[in-house]
Amino acid sequence: MKIQDFDFDLPPELIAQFPAEKRGNSRMLHLDAASGALQDRRFADLPSYLRAGDVVVFNDTRVIKARLYGVRDTGGRVEVLVERVLDRQRVMAVIRASHSPKPGSKLFLADAIEVTVLSREHDFYTLQFEHEGTVIELLERYGNLPLPPYISRPVEKSDELRYQTIYATQPGAVAAPTAGLHFDEPMLELLRKMGVVMAHVTLHVGSGTFQPVRVENIADHRMHSEIFDVSAETVECIKHAKAEGGRVLAVGTTSLRALEAAAAATGKRAKPDDNGEDGAQIKCGAGETDIFITPGYQFRVVDCLLTNFHLPRSTLLMLVSAFGGVENIRQAYRHAIEERYRFFSFGDAMLIERAGRI
């Protein structure tokens, strides 16, 4: 398929610049992929689409204060966006500067941190923080929250709370898994009382989530890899649910990518059971994934997807098109624009029920 197959015109005023007043107050567009039917709902209606024994999978990554400003040893200004924390002292980062710094040169960030440029590979630099304390501690103290590039306003103190899910525990992401931003504790408690099973994965979202696809043929695009971890407990929850006829709802494209990457790690698809449904072949453990999900992909694990509305020409729009059907998603996005849904990270939600799985 071509990149123009995933393009659409979005009025700029529909890009949400702030979150809803309260978590859970967003709208939710429901898509039944089997029929293509759309329903305008509220996020508060999510429990009506779930039943006891279903598994809801959350990405528990935590956004770090990954953006730092400073100067080079030559005096020029520099902006550093940490892409990945490698260990206690080293990171992989993108650097914006008038001239690219060379290996061995120094950066002085936030008037407090000396950094050595160790190497460069493509767009990413390996940097070493020459300072007591871990990288995570230094970023928390001196860094700035990396709001997405389409948020055209300064970072506010409230963003440190609202651009973070309430269940975020594992620091390492440079962007929030935004479908999870809708959940508050009352919603989680309601789902627990219903008998819905809560499970977690970790996928540290990288800046590549905002990178445009620069090739005409999407098959030529290469994803940046991201670190993920799927626990044995989560795998067992999913296997049990599948065996008992339950479904798996991925909260966000990052949860879906982690689960499908873990399934792909088995190297095979499960045999269909007596009802024609796929078994749950999924492997626990940590690793890196550059899985690129496009139309035609055969999903192994996920039955339902809760997600936000995505950028034109983006890999995330390709993923939801694979999940819900290309024409279904086109119609859904046209509907969302006509009905003035709010788009992107702080915007409204979309619930997609995959054909043949509900």
Scan for tokens 């309601």, then name that residue.
190
The domain of 113 spans 72-142
Q: How many domains does the chain have?
A: 2
Evaluate whether residue 151 is within a structural domain.
no
Concatenated DSSP letters of 179-195: GGGG--HHHHHHHHHHT
Assign residue 123 the CATH number of its domain.
2.40.10
Q: Are 13 and 98 part of one and the same domain?
A: no
Scan for tokens 């197959």, then name that residue.
5
**Using CA atoms, how far apart are residues 238 and 250, in angstroms rounded to an integer?**
11
Evaluate whether residue 191 is within a structural domain.
yes
Running DSSP on this structure, what letter comes out for residue 343? B
Q: pLDDT, tens digit, for every residue of 153-190?
A: 999 999 999 999 999 999 999 999 999 999 999 999 99
Evaluate whether residue 241 is within a structural domain.
yes
Six token digits for residue 101: 């710094």
Q: How far is CA 82 from the centre of its chain?
A: 17
Assign residue 289 the CATH number of its domain.
3.40.1780.10
The residue type at 193: K
Evaluate whether residue 159 is within a structural domain.
no
The residue type at 161: L
**Using CA atoms, how far apart are residues 166 and 144, in angstroms rounded to an integer?**
19
- 223: buried, middle or exposed (CB in 10 Å: 19+, 13-18, 0-12)? middle
Six token digits for residue 290: 């550059």
Q: Are 333 and 204 part of one and the same domain?
A: yes
Scan for tokens 């997405």, then name that residue.
148
Closest to 256 measured CA to CA, from 213, 289, 222: 289
pTM confidence score: 0.92
pLDDT in single tens digits along all 358 residues of the chain: 899 999 999 999 999 999 999 999 999 999 999 999 999 999 999 999 999 999 999 999 999 999 999 999 999 999 999 999 999 999 999 999 999 999 999 999 999 999 999 999 988 999 999 988 899 999 999 999 999 999 999 999 999 999 999 999 999 999 999 999 999 999 999 999 999 999 999 999 987 766 778 889 988 888 888 999 999 999 999 999 999 999 999 999 999 999 999 998 765 443 444 333 444 589 999 999 999 999 999 999 999 999 999 999 999 999 999 999 999 999 999 999 999 999 999 999 999 999 754 3
The residue type at 261: A
Strand partners, 28: 41, 349
Q: Are 309 and 338 part of one and the same domain?
A: yes
